Chain A
Amino acid sequence: MIHIRLAWHGIIHHRQQFGPFLLASTVLMAVNFTFFAVLNNTGLKTIEMGEAIRSVTTIGTVFTIILSAIFMLYANNFLNKQRNQDLSIYSMLGLRLHDLRFIVIIEQMILWLLTIVMGIIAGTTFFRLSFLLLKHLLGSNTLVEQLPVRAIVSCCILFSVIFCCLIIYNIYQLYQVKPIQLMRQSQATEKAPKNRWLMSWFGLALLGTGYAISVMTKPNLSAILQFMLAVVLVTVGTYILFIMGSITLLKYLKSRPHFYYRPNHFIAVSGMLFRMKQNGASLASICLLCASILVTMVASVSLFVGEGQLIKQWNPLDIMTLSQSDTLLQHEQQIVHLGRQHDIKIGNIYQASMTTPIIGDFSGNQYISHTNISKGVSQLSTMTLADYNQIQGTKLKLKDDEVLVYTQADDFHQQTLKINGHTYHSQTIAHFKLAANYGHSIFKPIFIITANQQVAQTINPQKMVAR
């Protein structure tokens, strides 16, 4: 068939353009594939913190999907100019619009097929490597690599959708391919880009909202969803801003004669206009990738640096046992017994009862508890002064309406504390030996020391014992 031959011929002979396109699509497919494969790994679901890895990977997946779609559309634009030139010559030589459409579809299908095949090969290799790395990082042996059939399917579907979009877009473009343009000889000059104030503002708004969300979001359980939203908004906003905002800005500069008609401004601005039109999307992609590298780096560095502190927070003492019933004596005996067996001297033993934490948040001098725990930032436990004095070795005295408050970040300095409808005079304490985040949760621990059991119970009715 002549259509297939023409399409194939075009790809082979324009390999300078199609090569990079295929390289880009293959790499994108491989990256997406890796994400999908990690997401679909059943072993990951069962290991500890696997859910966390999955949810973070989901964010990454959303990000790369958006990036891939936009980048493919953009890479496709690189091919369009050449393709349209060829197609208009075919049209002049007597091929019908119908034939041209067919050629475009076949060409896209060839590219699609090549992308899928090369993407799967590159993807499985890529995935092997990254999975080995993940396994090494987690130090987990239970994690098994599987042939990610579902990832292959998801990836194929994703890229089929993207290529469908490209076909539709290219066919739409086809209506602008007229051999008449060859006669007018207007092909060589590219149209000056259009000014788009509305879209630029829209892009800026998206970007702003994205950043606002990420700054204002409190670190609670529902944050991951909002973070995902922020990622989407920032990604889309950055693209719009780079592609259209840059042009709007340059056009604005151009519209100011005093600025524009200077030798260096004149050349810079008018040159930039055309260059930004062609390269806005790639600049945006580079920026986004740089941003994600930064995020990853900051996260890793802070994890690394904060590791010691985290361990101290989670386990301030060498051994901690936690019990809801009065079995503490047994625990103590067991620990002493174990210590003796291994020739370890047991040091100080602390014992305290405290309430199971209520999840909530400070707001001024008030502590508001949330029934929907995904909104809370802190967990508040109460204990009696007697226990506190015993642990700290102090001899403090409190009245019924007085409490001591310990916060980890030392960020509560109010004179009064309102909680559960009662108001207490509060005093902040700087150190607390049992200030442990024993649940290893993302909530910040807060401890309230009350005069006696009764007050402790009014604040928080549940009970728990810690040692």
Chain B
Amino acid sequence: MTILSLQHIQKQYDISQQNGFLALRDVSFNVDEGEYVAIMGESGAGKTTLLNIIATLDNATGGEIILNNQNLKQLSEKHAAQFRREHLGFVFQNFNLLDTFNNEENILLPLVLDKKSVPDMKMRLATLAKQLEIEGILKRFPYEISGGQKQRIAAARALITQPDLLLADEPTGALDSHNTERLLTIFESVNQQGQTILMVTHSAKAASHAKRTLFIKDGKIFHEIYRGDQSRTAYMSKINASLEALSNDDEEMMQS
């Protein structure tokens, strides 16, 4: 079942001004339930812009976007916030945890805002904490733990609402290779449990964990490749080749 559908999405910054900038020209793709999609592209290609639009944090200037049977264009500010709370989870490059709350409270905050019952909270937290290996640091504060641990706390906060779609913008951007690997394994395993994930990344290694990779260039989907039954390494070298082609603008190689 299609959970996210983008049709001819266009985004123009500074629309009122003469030098308006077209960050997204024409982006169309679908994401099915249970998919794990990576989005790659050069810096400035419009990846974050695209993610913002899907996240209801920004509005497209053209095209249709339907998330979970809801046309995002018709969402008011008030409903967008509620929609985010109920259907979306976020992981950022720079974690964005609240230093005033300890890690446990940070994770539970979305549930508290949603007025969930306490036993329910505790139950969900227990399962997640075990899976993400953060049980030992729950009572500490975000400023008392490492970057890799912070990102796992942030992931737990995003996952605890059991969102329809997990959005991640360069989640491994600030992590070393060990912690990157750890986070990616977690993403992969929650995906196997049915969590749909859309992840923007610069790293071929990160993308190689996903089931599908989209390449964006000049505000358009340039290319996409599926992992299928390939091994991780084979898939990763294919991604690398695509990336090279992307920067060389080598259309022919894409065809092969």
Contacts and interface: CB of A to CB of B under 8 A. Distances in A.
Interface in B70-98: 77-78, 81-86, 90, 92-94, 96-98
A86 B100 contact: yes
A346 to B, nearest CB: 84
Contact of B113 (A2, A97, A182): A2
A86 B106 CA distance: 12
A179 B83 CA distance: 14
A287 interface: no
A184 B101 CA distance: 23
Q: For chain B, which range describes its interface: under 10, 10 to 19, 20 to 34, or 35 or more residues?
A: 20 to 34
A178 B81 CA distance: 12
A179 B57 contact: yes
Interface stretch (A9-17, A155-163, A360-368): A9-17
Interface in A161-180: 178-180
B90 A92 contact: yes
| Most chain B C-beta atoms within 10 Å of own C-beta, residue among A97, A180, A183 | A183
Nearest to A99: B81
Chain A interface size band reads 20 to 34
B220 to A, nearest CB: 21
A313 interface: no
Contact of B52 (A2, A12, A89, A180): A180
A93 interface: yes
Interface in A193-212: none
B52 A94 contact: no
B128 interface: no
Interface string A310-334: 0000000000000000000000000
B100 A10 contact: yes
A345 interface: no
- Interface centre among A12, A93, A95, A96, by most chain B C-beta atoms within 10 angstroms, is A93
Contacts of B98: 86, 89
B251 interface: no
Interface in B42-90: 48, 51-52, 55, 57-58, 77-78, 81-86, 90
B85 A93 contact: yes
Given A2-B115, A14-B100, A93-B109, 15 more contacts: A9-B100, A12-B100, A13-B99, A89-B96, A92-B90, A93-B84, A94-B81, A94-B113, A97-B77, A179-B57, A180-B57, A182-B94, A183-B48, A183-B92, A183-B169
16 contacts: A2-B112, A13-B99, A13-B100, A13-B101, A90-B113, A92-B90, A93-B109, A93-B113, A94-B82, A95-B81, A95-B85, A97-B81, A182-B94, A182-B96, A183-B48, A184-B48
